Amino acid sequence: MLKLGKIIMHIAILYGIFLIGNWIQVTFHLIIPGSVIGMILLFILLYTKSIKVSWIEDGTRLFVSHLTLFFIPATVGIVNYLQLFSGKGILLIIIVLISTALVMGISGVVSQWFVRKKELHHE
Amino acid sequence: MNNIIIGLLAIIGTLIVYLFMWKLHRRVLLPVTLPIFLGSIVIVLVLLLFHIDYDTYMIGGEWINQLLGPAVVALAYPLYQQRDLLKRLFVPILMGTIVGAVVGIMSGVLLAKWLGVEEFIIYSLVSKSVTTPVSIVIADSLGGAMPLAAVFVMIAGMGGVLIAPFIFKAFKIDHVIGRGVGIGSASHAIGTARAMEDGPLGGSASTVAMVLSAIIVSIIAPILAVWML
């Protein structure tokens, strides 16, 4: 029971940081989503040791390991778009796959090039 | 009163389906047994079979959706855990991720435009390489459809894991960091889970790339996509 209370508390902190992120986005008219601002904010808070990892750890770990549960309702909305994926809609899947292949290949090549340069430099 | 019962049923039903699929996935560790994939299919089938509107399901689903924002905030934690790697390999990972983000957005928009895809669909696939909760917010802000964005993210994740061995070979990516950044930039959490099976270092690189990619794409997608369309 104590553990459950702790987890709810941790998730409440995450929610609070999300709301602060939203507030920052609206106040400063930023394009970056409030949730992403909240994530950067939490990272800075942890990194600068402004808050202790133990204040959010258990809840966050549980949250992250079951992240996809929260994606289900949004994904189920596809029920209203099913006709898109019949016939010509298969093209959409092919577009996504080609683009995904390009991202994977090119980002991998670029970072590999920089890592090798760095490794050479250190030897 | 009625709405509360419908809402509770939707939430409990979603939880049961998710937990069942989660247990199944632990036994059969394959991309096609992912709870988000099979779980969504089961719920879609239930809605179709019993003629339940999506709006009715969302009376409860909306409550689960409320947690998407904090879910993104929670991603700071895995990034924090990888802070040493982030510091040590900041430039290689950041460079790969930025180039990947630009390539992903531009290739998606160009291919779709060339094939005459409707505009709201293009806006839904712009952010397909980043994790679902960030991707659907980007799609929504551009004028895309959130469920479409969620499905494109899933295709990029599962498809990416399937094609990864061929891509690494074709692009001659044999360094563990290059592979991690490639799969994390293109296939977010689904790719990262796959990378972790191969080893902790690649998994860590993939985690960092996935989180950085979410930040970068959310900044540049609105600018690039609007400029290109």
Q: Are residues A107 and A59 in the same domain?
A: no
> Residue B66: its pLDDT value, please?
92
The mean pLDDT of B9-36, rounded to a whole number, is 94
CB nearest B128 (choices: A22, A38, A96):
A96
Q: How far is CA A2 from the centre of its chain?
A: 29
Chain A residues inside the 8 Å CB shell of B192: none
B32-54, pLDDT tens digit by residue? 899 999 999 999 999 999 999 99
Return the residue of A nearest to B222 by Cα.
Answer: A31
| A95·B72 Cβ contact <8 A | no
Q: Are residues A46 and A10 in the same domain?
A: yes
The mean pLDDT of A3-28, rounded to a whole number, is 94
Residue B210 to residue A21: CA distance in whole angstroms: 20
Q: Are residues A118 and A103 in the same domain?
A: yes
> Residue A85: its pLDDT value, please?
83
Q: Are residues A1 and A57 in the same domain?
A: yes
For chain A, percent of residues with pLDDT exceeding 90:
76
Return the residue of A nearest to B142 by Cα.
Answer: A31
What is the token pair recorded at B217? Answer: 């794409």
CB nearest A67 (choices: B152, B189, B219):
B189
> Residue B229: its pLDDT value, please?
78
CB nearest A96 (choices: B64, B65, B156):
B156
> Residue A3: its pLDDT value, please?
84
Range 28-57 of B in CB contact (< 8 A) with A = 34-36, 39-40, 43-44, 47-48, 54, 57
The whole-angstrom distance between B141's CA and the closest CA on chain A is 9
Closest CA to B75 of B213, B200, B199: B213
Residue A117 near residue B143 (C-beta atoms within 8 A):
no
Residue B182 to residue B94: CA distance in whole angstroms: 12
Q: Which of the four pLDDT bands, split at 50, 70 and 90, describes residue B175?
A: very high
The mean pLDDT of A27-43, rounded to a whole number, is 96
Q: Are residues A52 and A83 in the same domain?
A: no
Asked whether residue A4 carries a pLDDT value surpassing 90, the answer given is no
Chain B residues inside the 8 Å CB shell of A57: 77
Asked whether residue A123 carries a pLDDT value surpassing 70, the answer given is no
Number of CB pairs, chain A paired with chain B, less than 8 A apart: 327
Residue B101 near residue A104 (C-beta atoms within 8 A):
no
Q: Which helix (H) or strand (E) holds B6?
A: helix B2-27
Q: Which of the four pLDDT bands, split at 50, 70 and 90, describes residue B24?
A: very high
Q: Are residues A29 and A88 in the same domain?
A: no
Q: Are residues A85 and A67 in the same domain?
A: no
Q: Please state, rounded to an integer, the average pLDDT across all residues of chain B.
A: 95
> Residue B215: its pLDDT value, please?
97
A46-99, pLDDT tens digit by residue? 999 999 999 999 989 988 889 999 999 999 999 999 988 877 788 999 999 999
Using DSSP, state whether A33 is helix, strand or coil: coil
Q: Which of the four pLDDT bands, split at 50, 70 and 90, describes residue B227?
A: confident
B144-166, pLDDT tens digit by residue? 999 999 999 999 999 999 999 99
Q: Are residues A13 and A28 in the same domain?
A: yes
Q: Are residues A47 and A85 in the same domain?
A: no
Q: In Å, how far are A58, A99, B102 from B167, measured between CA atoms?
A: 37, 12, 18
> Residue B1: its pLDDT value, please?
56
Residue whose pair of structure tokens reads 């990619």 in the numeric block = B213
Give the least confident one: A61-65, B84-88, B96-100: A61-65
CB nearest A76 (choices: B40, B104, B219):
B40
| B108·A99 Cβ contact <8 A | yes
Q: Are residues A61 and A11 in the same domain?
A: yes
| A35·B36 Cβ contact <8 A | no
The whole-angstrom distance between A46's CA and the closest CA on chain B is 7
> Residue A89: its pLDDT value, please?
82
> Residue B94: its pLDDT value, please?
97
Q: Are residues A52 and A112 in the same domain?
A: no
What number is the ipTM of this complex? 0.94
Which domain, by its residues, includes A90? Answer: 78-123
Of B73, B194, B216, which to mutate for an interface test with A (greatest number of A Cβ within 10 Å)?
A: B73
Instruction: Kindly write down the DSSP assignment for every residue of B170-229, as one continuous string.
Output: HTT--SHHHHHHHHHHHHHHHHHHHHHHH-HHHHHHHHHHHHHHHHHHHHHHHHHHHHH-
